[in-house]
A and B are shown apart, each in its own frame.
Chain A
Amino acid sequence: MITYICKRLWQSCILAVIMSLIVFLGMYVVGDPVEMLADEDWTEQDKIELAIELGVDKPLHEQYFSFASDIVKGDFGTSFVYNRPVLDLITERLPATLEIALLAMVIGLGIGIPLGIFSGIKSNSRASKVISFFTTVGYSTPNFWQAIILIMVFAVFLQWLPASGRGLTNSMFGIEWSLLSIDGIRHMVLPAVNLAIYKICMQQRLAKSGTQEILYQEYMVYARAKGISRSRIIRRHLLRNILIPIVTITGLEVGGLIAFSTVTETIFSWPGIGKLLLDSIHMVDRPVVVAYLILITLMFVVINFVVDIMYAFLDPRIRHQK
């Protein structure tokens, strides 16, 4: 177990280094931060001074090494644009993204899995076909279009819910959360639902195909032959077995939601981490982009690790593998 964890950590370190190299190079190619930050009336001398201040006057490899050695010390650098430590910027924005990402995932799993099991068991019924039709549509229409429709219906025509911003936040553990106020929750609904639509569709399809596969296993027939009630068969015998593929995908999806909810956050002006990334790329704010992507890489490594442990928890055959 310990050797396994060490191996995993070592692999993720290499991954993070490669990632930082690619992003560093990529951002170098995209543009010159001095040009982005400079006002029109600046002289050449001003620009050179700014370049020295930012450290972008040195050759690229030197920049990379000083950046990397700072990271090892736990310093992710200072944003070119905001002139503040990158880590502060990210941790400030992260709770907003975590909130809607997790809410979206809860909605996705909570609605998607029961729908999927239902349509898997009654796969020939009309209801199942209707559900599958809608999830196919939900799956294949673009996210931003769904967002616009949501805003149009619920914010413009019905005026039930606000269309942008985070609303009132309350603080807990020194972090601001929208979840803790009614107004904040009202603001969360639309962006979270927007993210959740895709997840509902995905989970429904996964659960449906899983159910149809497990339903015809001999132990399902045998469970009926034992005289167990139908609800218990579904709860214990079916659900437990279809969860394994669902956990895999859910792990990756949670990561994806946290890292790349950029489109939704932009449309709903949600001040999350995705919007920060987009703005930083725009402004060639290299330290923010690089640090962000390294953190995301590490997050995916952690998520995959958790998924592996979940596997072993769900399937004893993996736990006892010889």
Chain B
Amino acid sequence: MNKTPLLKIKDLTVTYPCGPQGKDEFKALDQVSINLNAGQIIGIVGESGAGKSTIGKAILGLLDPPAKVVNGDITLLDNPLIGLSEEQYTSIRGEEVGYIYQNPMTALNPVLTIGEQVIEAIEANTNMRGKSAYKHAIDLLEQSDVSFAEDRLKKYPHQLSGGLCQRIVFAIAIAAKPKLIIADEPTTALDVTVQQSVLQTLIKLSKQEQVAIILITHDIGVVAETCDYVYVLRNGKHIEQGITSDVLQRPTQDYTKSLMASVPLIEKRLHRFALKQQDNAEDTSRGLQYLREKEKTESLTKGPILEVCNLSKIFITPSSMFKPKDLFTAVNNVSFTVNRGETVGIVGESGSGKSTIGRMILGLEDITEGSVIYRGKDLKSIIDNKERQKHCLSMQCIFQDPYSSLNPRMSAGENITYGLKAHKLIDGNKAKSLAQDLMSLVGLKKQDADKLPHAFSGGERQRIGIARALSYRPDFIFCDEPTSALDVSVQASLLNLLKDLQEQFSLTLLFVSHDLAVIRQMCDQVIVMKDGVSMEMGTNENIFKQPKSPYTKSLLSAMPVFNP
């Protein structure tokens, strides 16, 4: 093996000025060193804010101003990279180092054809021009497993799926046969089956062409499947490094250990994630009491609380200037039953119609066909407005994106109680103390009720969202990918919280996720969906241990396996 490393990063420190007049600085990276040889795949893992992407951008001189490198060296084959001019970098970018961007849909320019974007990269980084560049583009796409290559070159990014776009970004990265590829979260935006094939292509490339790859990711499963060597970062600091299997299975640092404990496993269902119990000094009893005061109109016997019968949803796009009317069947004849106190999970890839089902149950989306029977009553049959309101208030929702689902101009407390106030279920004086009680119940600080949402982290915001849903004392909560925007450790603690709440109040949850491992940990019953059709339905153990449908099997086999 080559003794001099291909890429050498030594004591790299990157800072952002912050505070008034930029006097303070925030260290995005703090004394990080990395070595990489040809043909090696290294993983850089960490949670958001760890500075993973900053490494990739620093190598290519793409740091957004005002960020700057204050210390350290980056050398590529003994040539220093720090301090090059934009022109000098142009000859490195694309030619020596290929870059695969996190989100393929936003990395490609929406108004230019795929062909133009591939060919401009070829012409910029190789000697090929015109016809030969066009031929090379077709070759590259075929190498990257893009079918109908010639036809795809004429298309625009929005006409292709995320997976195809990612493969095109991939084709651009290998256009000039670079020695190093930086892949920044290359599979985060993709479904598991697509993720699998993208990772396979990366591995193939490093084995056959001796390309070195830096894989930046937060997904431990991906690292376990792909990387030879791994670096763990946290808040810009180097925590641990080593051979992948060593670091993942025998972590030596506390942070790495807790990170590993947070990863949801697909192999077996745990009761809770083994996180350190945080001392919750806050008094949660009043919040608990509020939730228990629920009118006992119905007995809490086990039995179906929700029945979904032959539910279908067809979206109609009206005709426009360039297109005739278009019909799209999002949900096709789906039926299932949810028992009181149970968690039912709907799992499927993007576009499978899983969220649409939940939205129809809540009445956020009109039902095209079929019926939703909740607490023995079909929503459509209720004519009395008061009764309908009562009916609807006991169904609540936790939304996918904690950043956009809270009103940014209302304080956390107001966000939790404004719905109650609108329905005159509580008067203004009590609202504030209720918000505080609920906040301590979901693990937030009471005194933070007056802060605006932007002062909270993503995980904390999602807790506010949970508190808001709980404020109605619901029987049923629809959780629409509640943790998909969050880091694994945050996800683990939120899932623990949901489980605790469910045990205490016999809540019924409908849990939608694309993440099989999360569904495995959370749900009693599982429904697997594809293209609006329910492929398979069964208990957690049955689906994960003896899947019957070939689609479920393919999903399960595509999941990256991580076994600590």
Interface residues of A (CB under 8 A from B): 1, 3-4, 216-219, 221-230, 232, 236-237, 240-241, 308, 312, 314-322
* B422 shortest CB reach to chain A, Å: 35
The answer to whether B111 touches A314 (Cβ under 8 A) is: yes
> How far is B125's CA from A320's CA once the two chains are assembled, in angstroms?
32
**Does B109 lie at the interface of the complex (its beta carbon under 8 Å from any beta carbon of A)?**
yes
> How far is B93's CA from A264's CA once the two chains are assembled, in angstroms?
53
* B108 shortest CB reach to chain A, Å: 6
Find the A residue at minimum CB distance from B123.
A228
- Kindly list the 8 A-B residue pairs having the minimum CB-CB distance in the complex, ordered from nearest: A227-B94, A227-B93, A225-B99, A316-B156, A222-B107, A218-B106, A4-B321, A219-B109
> How far is B113's CA from A319's CA once the two chains are assembled, in angstroms?
13
Residues of B close to A320: CB separation below 8 A: 156, 158-159, 322-323
> How far is B119's CA from A236's CA once the two chains are assembled, in angstroms?
13
Q: Given A222-B99, A228-B121, are A316 and B94 also a contact pair (CB < 8 Å)?
A: no
> How far is B176's CA from A316's CA once the two chains are assembled, in angstroms?
28
Residues of A close to B328: CB separation below 8 A: 322
Residues of B close to A318: CB separation below 8 A: 322
The answer to whether B110 touches A315 (Cβ under 8 A) is: yes
* A124 shortest CB reach to chain B, Å: 9
The answer to whether A4 touches B320 (Cβ under 8 A) is: yes
Residues of A close to B62: CB separation below 8 A: 221, 224-225
The answer to whether A322 touches B106 (Cβ under 8 A) is: no
Q: Which of B86, B91, B106, B317 contacts A219 (CB 8 A)?
A: B106
Q: Given A315-B111, A316-B158, are A227 and B91 also a contact pair (CB < 8 Å)?
A: yes
The answer to whether B111 touches A316 (Cβ under 8 A) is: yes
The answer to whether B107 touches A218 (Cβ under 8 A) is: yes
Could you give, for residues 438-479 of chain B, a 1 whenever the CB lies within 8 Å of some chain A CB and a 0 otherwise? 000000000000000000000000000000000000000000
Find the A residue at minimum CB distance from B175.
A226
Residues of B close to A227: CB separation below 8 A: 90-95, 121, 124-125, 176
Find the A residue at minimum CB distance from B120.
A228
> How far is B170's CA from A222's CA once the two chains are assembled, in angstroms?
12
**Does B103 lie at the interface of the complex (its beta carbon under 8 Å from any beta carbon of A)?**
yes
Interface residues of B (CB under 8 A from A): 60, 62, 64, 86, 90-95, 99, 101-103, 106-113, 116, 120-121, 124-125, 156, 158-159, 169, 172, 176, 317, 319-323, 326, 328
* A116 shortest CB reach to chain B, Å: 18
Q: Which of A218, A226, A308, A321 contacts B93 (CB 8 A)?
A: A226
Q: Given A237-B112, A317-B110, A320-B158, are A226 and B124 also a contact pair (CB < 8 Å)?
A: yes
5 pairs of residues in contact across A and B, judged by CB atoms under 8 Å? A219-B107, A226-B121, A227-B90, A314-B111, A320-B322
Q: Given A225-B99, A236-B116, are A217 and B91 also a contact pair (CB < 8 Å)?
A: no
> How far is B174's CA from A91's CA once the two chains are assembled, in angstroms?
61
The answer to whether A225 touches B94 (Cβ under 8 A) is: yes
> How far is B60's CA from A221's CA once the two chains are assembled, in angstroms?
11
The answer to whether A241 touches B158 (Cβ under 8 A) is: no
> How far is B201's CA from A291's CA once the two chains are assembled, in angstroms?
68
Find the B residue at minimum CB distance from A224.
B62
Interface centre among A3, A223, A225 (most CB of B within 10 A): A225
> How far is B99's CA from A218's CA once the two chains are assembled, in angstroms?
13
Residues of B close to A219: CB separation below 8 A: 106-110
Find the B residue at minimum CB distance from A314.
B111
> How far is B333's CA from A13's CA once the two chains are assembled, in angstroms?
46
> How far is B323's CA from A237's CA once the two chains are assembled, in angstroms?
27
> How far is B123's CA from A236's CA once the two chains are assembled, in angstroms?
14
Residues of A close to B121: CB separation below 8 A: 226-228
The answer to whether A308 touches B321 (Cβ under 8 A) is: yes
* B59 shortest CB reach to chain A, Å: 10
The answer to whether A321 touches B109 (Cβ under 8 A) is: no
The answer to whether A240 touches B93 (Cβ under 8 A) is: no
The answer to whether B322 touches A226 (Cβ under 8 A) is: no
The answer to whether B112 touches A230 (Cβ under 8 A) is: no
The answer to whether A218 touches B101 (Cβ under 8 A) is: yes
> How far is B121's CA from A227's CA once the two chains are assembled, in angstroms?
7
The answer to whether A226 touches B120 (Cβ under 8 A) is: yes
> How far is B156's CA from A240's CA once the two chains are assembled, in angstroms?
14
* A42 shortest CB reach to chain B, Å: 57
The answer to whether A229 touches B116 (Cβ under 8 A) is: no
The answer to whether B112 touches A236 (Cβ under 8 A) is: yes
The answer to whether A241 touches B111 (Cβ under 8 A) is: yes
